[in-house]
Amino acid sequence: MIVTLDLPSELEDELSLEASHLKLPLTEYILRVLLFRPFLQNPPKTGAGLISYWESAGIINSRPDISDSQEYARKLRREAETRE
């Protein structure tokens, strides 16, 4: 479905800036914001609820190429500490 919106320039600038920080096209960022709306209306109340949400959103296990998450985190930390 295609929807055309007339956004106030201030809102467009704000959304564009947020999208650029995430290196996303504006249209994809707006779609993500809209998809995230149900979470904001009924946020998880417990850690288990948050894990359940992350699983349903496909965040958990979204990187099958990482077999050992702790080792991967250590590698990232080492790279960050030694970069110039």
Q: Compute the Cα dihedral for 34, 40, 45, 46 and give only its sign.
A: positive
Report the distance separating Cα 19 and Cα 26, nearest Å: 6
Contact 24, 32 (CB under 8 A): yes
What is the pTM (predicted TM-score) of this model? 0.52
Q: What is the pLDDT of residue 80?
A: 94
Q: What is the pLDDT of residue 61?
A: 83
pLDDT per residue rounded down to tens, the chain (84 residues): 888 889 999 999 999 999 999 999 999 999 988 888 877 788 889 999 999 988 888 888 888 899 999 999 999 999 999 987
Domain spans, the chain: 1-43, 45-84
In sequence order, what DSSP letters do the residues of 6-61 get, joined into one string?
A: ---HHHHHHHHHHHHHTT--HHHHHHHHHHHHHHHHS--SSHHHHHHHHHHTT-TT
